[in-house]
A and B are shown apart, each in its own frame.
Chain A
Amino acid sequence: MKKLSARRRHPLAALVVLLFALAITGGLYAAFAPAEKAQADSSAQSLAIDEGKRLFAVGCSSCHGLNGEGSADGPSLVGVGSAAVDFQVGTGRMPAQQPGAQIPAKRNIYSQSDIDQMAAFVASLGPGPVTPTSEQYTSTETDAISKGGDLFRTNCAQCHNFAGAGGALTQGKYAPSLEGVSAKHIYEAMQTGPQSMPVFPEGTMPEKQKQEIVAFVRYQANEAPNPGGLTLGSLGPVTEGLFGWIFGLGVLIAVAIWVAAHTTKAKKS
């Protein structure tokens, strides 16, 4: 203790205390966060809608209303379908932490069976896009990736970037990065048009084309080789130029300083 108190005036002491305080606050929040309480037992699969309604009342109704009719804080969920619930809750976007320009994806706190129950309840409010099965979003065609690339560049790349890295929209909104997004969620996003994203309905983009886009995005995010080396975020000339100016010129300046700092004179001054 004496050793500790002797160092209380060390220049880094304040930083250490701050780090401890932050760690304790964060730990307590993680331990007592209300989100964990939303877990419910999922034994009653046959009564999915009733169970879903109960989960909905706890996690969603404060904004979307007890019967999903919507309020000033959240839109009506009548007719959004089970696919919208599976996407919004499955990617952690819903329940939203706070209102804002855009609700970000975060860690999902529900089990898949909870999500399915809520989806069943919301689907019972009105007909809408149905959660896809894995046959729907998995393509077996060998040319799916190249066809999907064409479709991606026509329909998606304008917002999500040519490599799916995402990009900015108006007034604080943005198109998120597609890296690490599951095939099902990509398919559901096209079906339901979450937040700012437009809908790509069956009538204008058939299931097969959605499969191809999913195949391309998954390939782009996971397997595509990158012959250029560092992607620098795949943001194009902006990051590449910044890297060139800062690192390239920085190295040149450092070398010039190093050369000038080493005299060749016989007598070192």
Chain B
Amino acid sequence: MSHDNISDDKLPDAHAASEGHGLPAVADDPFADPGLPAHEPRRTDIDERAAQRAERQVSLLFVTSMLATVGFIASYVAIKPDKLVFIFPLGHVSALNFALGMTLAVALFCIGAGAVHWARTLMSDVEMPAERHPIEADDEVRADVIQQFKTGAAESGFGRRKMIRNTMIGSMAMVPLAGVVLLRDLGPLPEKKLDHTGWIEATPTAPIRLVNMNTDEPMKAEDLAIGSLTFAKPGPSASRPNGLQDSDEDFQQAIAKDALMLVRIQPQDLKDEKSSALGFEGVLAYSKICTHVGCPISLYEQQTHHALCPCHQSTFDLSDGARVIFGPAGHPLPQLKITTDTEGYLVATQDFTVPVGPSFWERSA
């Protein structure tokens, strides 16, 4: 880039520059502040043609940005959202996404690049030392301010009329309570909702069938092979004659507590007698909701009987009453007591005995 170098005769006198303010004042002192190096002019400072070229370059960048913005709007209008194009190395991508991303990137980049180029070539780059000042005001100003404050306090009677002062503090402390009360409008109180699930309607006289999430049919124990994993929801009950359905208005709230993970383990592999008794011939029904922060947990390994939570790696041993064997969960997964009805379908006859999902303050068990 030889044309960027300007012949020495066009530069300001090099000798004069070296005697500028920046050089050490006392040559004898080896620790003297060397000061700033002498200011060097830029090509655009001394060559008007270069300055005009830089100006055009900056303007070109800004104009490019404008065109890219126009391109962004045009792409949004013109390109159909489902159009795919092949672009190396991205593969088949949405033409609209690609066009919007590229035009917006160009528009923003050119504004930045133009600003940087402008600052580097045309704005002043003369070094300017700025001395630091003490932060503290001088004594006279301080005394004056303190005097004014005291005068104000005395004139308002703030210190003398204590009743006014105390009631004012009281009123200001009370006002935020109005906002606190409004928080009540965030929703109904949870009351005892966290303590029970949709299975609470199950009783020994009116059991609720376990319904397969895949087929929407009740299941018999023989449908579940050893080593199988099935997800289940509550079947018909008094309040839901068709069972829990996706179309129910409160489906998401209900399934967040009622979801079951059914596994079948060889009865001789079960290590916990209490858990084994809650199941039916090795079929165990556990809550699908992790007791740590409530992620749906169903990464089940049929050989080790481990269930792993994908969020924080809590691991439960489903053959041992869903004991926590790793991770941050504080409780075993709650287990639902199941049996079969007269037709042989798997049913629940009672709710979970402990609240499902993560711990909460008033958790009873």
A and B associate: yes
| Interface residues, chain A, with chain B CB atoms under 8 Å away | 151, 154-155, 158-159, 167, 169-171, 173, 175, 193, 195-201, 203-206, 209, 225-230, 259, 264-269
Give the residues in chain B near A209, CB-CB below 8 Å. 214-215
17 A-B residue pairs with Cβ-Cβ distance under 8 Å, sorted by A, are: A154-B213, A169-B306, A170-B326, A196-B301, A196-B302, A198-B302, A199-B225, A199-B227, A199-B229, A204-B215, A204-B224, A205-B214, A206-B215, A227-B94, A229-B90, A267-B5, A267-B11
With contacts A227-B94, A228-B94 known, is A267 near B224, CB below 8 A? Answer: no
Q: Is the interface of A mostly helix, strand, loop or mixed?
A: loop
Beyond A204-B223, A204-B224, 9 extra complex contacts between A and B, CB < 8 Å: A171-B304, A193-B227, A199-B227, A226-B93, A228-B94, A229-B90, A264-B120, A265-B42, A266-B5
Give the residues in chain B near A268, CB-CB below 8 Å. 4-5
B230: nearest chain-A partner, CB-CB: A204
With contacts A228-B97, A264-B42 known, is A196 near B223, CB below 8 A? Answer: no
> How many inter-chain contacts with C-beta < 8 Å in the A-B complex?
128
Q: How far is the CB of A30 from chain B (nearest CB, A)?
A: 32
CA distance in complex: A183, B197 (Å): 40
Inter-chain contact B45/A158, CB cutoff 8 Å: no
Inter-chain contact A226/B6, CB cutoff 8 Å: no
Inter-chain contact B214/A229, CB cutoff 8 Å: no
Give the residues in chain B near A200, CB-CB below 8 Å. 228-230
Q: How far is the CB of B13 from chain A (nearest CB, A)?
A: 13
B309: nearest chain-A partner, CB-CB: A158
Give the residues in chain A near B224, CB-CB below 8 Å. 201, 203-204
Interface size range of chain B in the complex: 35 or more
Query: Interface digits, B209-235 against A, CB 8 Å rule (1 contact, 0 not)?
Result: 000111100011011111111110000
Inter-chain contact A197/B91, CB cutoff 8 Å: no
CA distance in complex: A197, B219 (Å): 21
CA distance in complex: A171, B313 (Å): 11
User: Chain A interface: which of B26-34, B166-174, B292-300?
Assistant: B292-300
Q: How far is the CB of A104 from chain B (nearest CB, A)?
A: 16
Query: Interface digits, B293-327 against A, CB 8 Å rule (1 contact, 0 not)?
Result: 00010111111101010100101000000000010
Give the residues in chain A near B226, CB-CB below 8 Å. 199
A209: nearest chain-B partner, CB-CB: B214
CA distance in complex: A119, B5 (Å): 82
Q: How far is the CB of B330 from chain A (nearest CB, A)?
A: 19
Inter-chain contact A201/B301, CB cutoff 8 Å: no
Query: Interface digits, B88-103 against A, CB 8 Å rule (1 contact, 0 not)?
Result: 0111111001100000
Give the residues in chain A near B214, CB-CB below 8 Å. 151, 154-155, 204-205, 209
CA distance in complex: A196, B302 (Å): 5
Inter-chain contact A169/B227, CB cutoff 8 Å: no
Inter-chain contact B301/A204, CB cutoff 8 Å: no
Tell which of A198, A204, A229 has the most Cβ of chain B within 10 Å. A204
Give the residues in chain B near A227, CB-CB below 8 Å. 84, 92-94, 97
Give the residues in chain A near B225, CB-CB below 8 Å. 199, 201, 203
Q: Is B40 an interface residue (CB 8 A)?
A: yes
Q: How far is the CB of B314 from chain A (nearest CB, A)?
A: 10
Inter-chain contact B228/A154, CB cutoff 8 Å: no
CA distance in complex: A269, B42 (Å): 12
CA distance in complex: A230, B47 (Å): 48
A262: nearest chain-B partner, CB-CB: B120
Inter-chain contact B46/A198, CB cutoff 8 Å: no
CA distance in complex: A268, B6 (Å): 10
Q: How far is the CB of B90 from chain A (nearest CB, A)?
A: 4
CA distance in complex: A167, B308 (Å): 12
With contacts A154-B213, A226-B91, A264-B120 known, is A199 near B223, CB below 8 A? Answer: no
Give the residues in chain B near A230, CB-CB below 8 Å. 89-91
Q: Is B43 an interface residue (CB 8 A)?
A: yes
Q: Is B121 an interface residue (CB 8 A)?
A: yes
CA distance in complex: A229, B214 (Å): 33
Inter-chain contact B5/A193, CB cutoff 8 Å: no
B109: nearest chain-A partner, CB-CB: A255
Inter-chain contact A158/B299, CB cutoff 8 Å: yes
Q: How far is the CB of A203 from chain B (nearest CB, A)?
A: 3
CA distance in complex: A267, B18 (Å): 14
B40: nearest chain-A partner, CB-CB: A265
CA distance in complex: A198, B308 (Å): 13
Give the residues in chain A near B44, CB-CB below 8 Å. 264
With contacts A198-B300, A225-B84 known, is A264 near B121, CB below 8 A? Answer: yes
Q: Is B263 an interface residue (CB 8 A)?
A: yes
With contacts A170-B304, A170-B306 known, is A198 near B229, CB below 8 A? Answer: yes
Inter-chain contact B220/A267, CB cutoff 8 Å: no
Inter-chain contact B231/A203, CB cutoff 8 Å: no
Of the residues B43, B97, B228, B308, contact of A201 by C-beta under 8 Å: B228
Give the residues in chain B near A151, CB-CB below 8 Å. 214
CA distance in complex: A26, B306 (Å): 39
B228: nearest chain-A partner, CB-CB: A199
Which B30-80 residues have a C-beta within 8 angstroms of A? Answer: 40-47
CA distance in complex: A167, B296 (Å): 16
